[in-house]
Amino acid sequence: MNIYGPRMDYRGTYVSVIMKVLDRIFAGQPPVIFGDGSQVYDFIYIDDIALANILSMKADCADECFNIGMGIGTSINELVSILIELTGSSLTPEYRPEAQSFVTQRIGSIDKAASMLGFRARTTLRDGLAKVVAWRR
């Protein structure tokens, strides 16, 4: 799913929507939302990814594939709203036309990871984003 956490890499071709929003907020510019912001994604904190890897190494199974996520959808509007609140900003998002057609809903089914690995994410989106905001400051 969409992994996030402190020290997110800026060097690749993909820069997380979270970092793009924070960059604009910290520059005093309104965060940009492409489309109407109703796109829904499954965001998972990096510590939970590490936990899933440890559980998979301990599990009595091999050659299996798992979705590792929260199993909860968060819209881009909700994500931006939380980031604005956590930064103490009074900015309001700027909406722009969606230039490309992206996946508009991606929520992972975590049932298999829960049953075979005993995995459940522990970090709420708000708590994980607070850690990213603190790191970014």
pLDDT in the model for residue 62 = 86
- Output Rg (C-alpha) for the chain, integer angstroms: 16
DSSP state, 11? S
pLDDT in the model for residue 9 = 67
pLDDT in the model for residue 106 = 87
pLDDT in the model for residue 23 = 93
pLDDT in the model for residue 30 = 98
pTM for the model stands at 0.89
Domains of the chain, each with CATH number or no CATH: 2-136 (3.40.50.720)
pLDDT in the model for residue 101 = 62
pLDDT along the chain (137 residues), means of 10: 84 75 96 93 96 94 91 96 97 89 82 95 97 94
pLDDT in the model for residue 12 = 60
Q: Which residues of 91-127 are buried (b: 16+ CB within 10 A; e: fewer)?
A: bebeeeeeeeeeeeeebbebeebeeebebebebebee
Q: What are phi and psi of 130, to 5 degrees?
A: -60, -40
